[in-house]
A and B are shown apart, each in its own frame.
Chain A
């Protein structure tokens, strides 16, 4: 690829890579898969570099769609937790335990549910913006959020207090 065709691409990668990797990790639950996802998305961004107005938004959109389609059959490396092996409150590395519990619980969601949770609560997108990015209706975003939070409560009851309460507007249609 000619250098002039990718004018500014290297600077874009340098400035946005950490954020993209973080998003990739939340979408895939695996550090290696996150890098693969980001690289795949960046290839698409580079391919359309001269026509993309907002490369950051474009790359994130590709990542979300790729995570749903390409990664849907991939499972987390971490095994689902069962009741007998939950960490106890005696652990000193409480934040580590909480984080790993949460990551493992995220792995129990479907790729679409994960995407909704990440976009709504990590990217802080509105329901309308999330729906637009995912290419679905706002009602679908609401119902997926509702089901995803319910699922998180089921698989990780220790985190129930940390999850947002369900509002009437979030009840699925």
Chain B
């Protein structure tokens, strides 16, 4: 029988203590700082008292300078030094133009050199890797550049003018998959299957045709790109078409029902299909009731899109997530070798700020604290960051996030 003591114990057990060595060092530093401050204050008091006693109070006209206001404008992204780790990219608009700016963990903002495409608040051609280390943008010449924000290394990708923005990064930040430029207008449509995979360690790029190499690709309804994933070893995973209609039936006029799907893992370097992976409940079907004249109403089934498979840095597991009954999210863990699956339900009630909203999900990163997801609200805005334990059995933290419209988060 669970009682309040066990509830308290369960809650307490969800903590993960920091390293004792780091904590001890932080504490001793703070103690030293406090003592230095006390000594310094006392010394200053003594000097001031002596000065007043000996020389009397002096007033120096014009000796004051107005403190500079805190810098509010972003500075240009320096190329000769590290700037830290990026936390987000957001458009800053004013005077009829918008400039994408990257914000680092220390709060500094840097304007991206551009040119970039900012359609209203919809930025394309920019992105941050899951850990915020790598920044994707286009330089002043329009070339696609992937810059290491924690250093000065960067990769300028060949055939840059044909490259758009990053589609997906690998969770270990070893690779990025880049899509072609989306051109508008008749006769200028690009092939969305013509992708480029960049090795972030070596800068080596491989261009390939997804459909040409690996066959039938399932795309989201009205979607330009399939739900692509990058494994830590550089292999690509994506859903293939031909989903079977779910056996479950909807209970209301319009409802989403999940069905099974298959993901294909392929190696762009060799063009070989590594394996096909059946995954339960990975495809969302929209079921609507359609009236046909005086005849009986019919149910219309449409696959609205498979979920993105997100490979974890360990290389052996991946997760998918999908809404469950409009009230939360089910997170599935898949063994990439055996295909074994396990799922965890996270209800909407745990996701502050997401109440009453449809929730989509994206894997942002895998950190030492666990698997971190961004819950995405109705307007594509991340509203909550949810951290699961590495085994996926516990929700470690739920943090609401407030960011300006159009902000691009890492991952």
Enumerate chain A interface residues (CB-CB to B < 8 A). Answer: 1, 6, 9-10, 13-14, 17-18, 21-26, 30-31, 34-35, 38-39, 42-43, 46-47, 77-79, 81-82, 84-88, 91-93, 95-103, 106, 117-118, 121-122, 124, 159, 162-164
Contacts and interface: CB of A to CB of B under 8 A. Distances in A.
Q: Which of A25, A159, A164 has the most CB of B within 10 A?
A: A25
Contacts, number: 151
A100 B350 contact: yes
B14 A1 contact: no
Given A13-B24, A25-B14, A78-B352, A31 B396 contact: yes
Given A17-B23, A79-B352, A43 B31 contact: yes
Main secondary structure of the interface of A (DSSP, over half): helix
Nearest to A16: B20
A31 B7 contact: no
A99 B10 contact: yes
B182 interface: no
Given A46-B27, A79-B352, A96 B8 contact: no
B11 interface: yes
B27 A13 contact: yes
A100 B345 CA distance: 13
Q: Which of B11, B30, B345, B397 has the most CB of A within 10 A?
A: B11
A34 B15 contact: yes
B194 interface: no
Interface string B299-337: 000000000000000000000000000011000000000
Nearest to B5: A121
B297 interface: no
A82 B4 contact: no
Contacts of B7: 98-99, 102, 159, 162
Nearest to B396: A31
A92 B27 contact: no
Contact of A91 (B4, B345, B352, B393): B345
Contacts of A43: 27, 30-31, 34
Interface residues of B, number: 51
Contacts of A78: 350, 352, 398
A102 B9 CA distance: 11
Contact of B26 (A39, A81, A97, A163): A39
A34 to B, nearest CB: 7
A162 B4 contact: yes
Contact of B11 (A18, A81, A82, A99): A99
A34 B34 CA distance: 21
Contacts of B399: 77
B347 interface: yes
A77 B400 CA distance: 7
Given A43-B27, A96-B393, A102-B11, 12 more contacts: A31-B15, A31-B397, A43-B34, A77-B352, A78-B350, A78-B352, A85-B356, A93-B345, A96-B394, A106-B11, A118-B8, A121-B4
Contacts of B3: 162-164
B345 to A, nearest CB: 5
A46 B53 CA distance: 38
Contacts of B35: 1
B157 interface: no
Contacts of B5: 121-122, 124
10 contacts: A1-B35, A14-B24, A17-B23, A42-B23, A77-B398, A77-B399, A93-B344, A97-B347, A117-B8, A162-B2
A43 B17 CA distance: 17
Contact of B31 (A47, A85, A93): A47
A10 B28 CA distance: 10
Contacts of B395: 96, 100
B343 interface: yes
B11 A38 contact: no
A26 B345 contact: no
Contacts of B11: 25-26, 99, 102-103, 106
Nearest to A15: B20
B349 A86 contact: yes
Contacts of B348: 85
B248 interface: no
